[in-house]
Amino acid sequence: MKKLEIIVRNLALYLFLFLTVPPFAILILLLSLFDRRGVLTHEIGRFWLRAILFLTGVKLEVRGLEYLKRDEAYIFAANHQSQFDIPVLAVALPYQIRWLAKKSLFQIPFFGWALRAIGYIPVDRKNPRRGYESLLKAAEKIKKGLSVVIFPEGTRSPDGRLLPFKTGGFVLAIKSGRPVVAIAICGTRKIMPKGKLYVRPGLVRLLIFPPIPTRGLNLQEKASLAQLVRLRIEEGLRAGCQR
């Protein structure tokens, strides 16, 4: 029965993607002409991602939201184990979030057009100068009251253990002056491991830590900031994202 459920859910997922990506993208493109800040288009994106979690049987358990202020903008920094980290965070965090995404994703018809219309920021990983320019653009968005999610590891972990942290996202935090929020994610690797295209239903836990102030920090302190975030995420992973 379990195997049959997985097969049915995956068929439903890919049929849903095939049928909804073009019309949702067109809707977002049209709304973006009037919704300059991307507030409504972001909520449409969240609704679409929530439907994906429902179809795949992924349930969320979130702890720590009480540490956050609803009217504040944050830099959310999370560990990265799976493609499903993105829908999980987008649905779990009730904030206007913008993402730093690989430049290649913006070249995908319909999907990439929608990413750009919502206000997501392309990052050229092969060009450090352009990558730094992307961080500056993100900093401007954060100053306007939008939040950003970063994955400091830079790529998905194949075995769930934390990879070395890159410090670019912490430059963004210091330049914007916004607090950094460490988030430990547990369970997404079992749902969709790196390199796999099938999805398994299951429970994902998120453990959100108290915000770390960055106002007054200088760029020489980015490594210390990254280390503090790493220690918190490691603590959360050791606890299974539970308190």
- Per-residue pLDDT 10s for the chain (243 aa) are 588 999 999 999 999 999 999 998 888 888 888 877 778 888 888 999 999 999 999 999 999 999 999 889 999 999 999 989 999 999 999 998 887 777 777 888 888 878 887 778 777 766 666 766 777 777 777 777 889 898 999 888 888 889 999 888 898 889 888 999 999 999 999 999 888 888 999 999 999 999 999 998 998 999 999 999 999 999 999 998 987
Question: Can you give the residue range of the structural domain that contains 162?
Answer: 2-238
d(CA 11, CA 5): 10
pLDDT at position 39 is 81
Q: What is the CATH number of the domain that holds 34?
A: 3.40.1130.10
> Is 212 within 8 Å of 182 (Cβ atoms)?
yes
pLDDT at position 196 is 85
What is the length of the chain? 243
Q: Output the pTM of the full model.
A: 0.90
Residue 197 falls inside a structural domain: yes
Angle of helix 2-32 relative to helix 39-56, nearest 10 degrees, comes to 170
Residue 133 falls inside a structural domain: yes
Residue 78 falls inside a structural domain: yes
Q: Angle at Cα 169 formed by Cα 163 and Cα 171, nearest 5°? A: 130
Number of domains in the chain: 1
Residue 243 falls inside a structural domain: no
Residue 43 falls inside a structural domain: yes
d(CA 146, CA 233): 23
Residue 35 falls inside a structural domain: yes
Residue 17 falls inside a structural domain: yes
Residue 228 falls inside a structural domain: yes
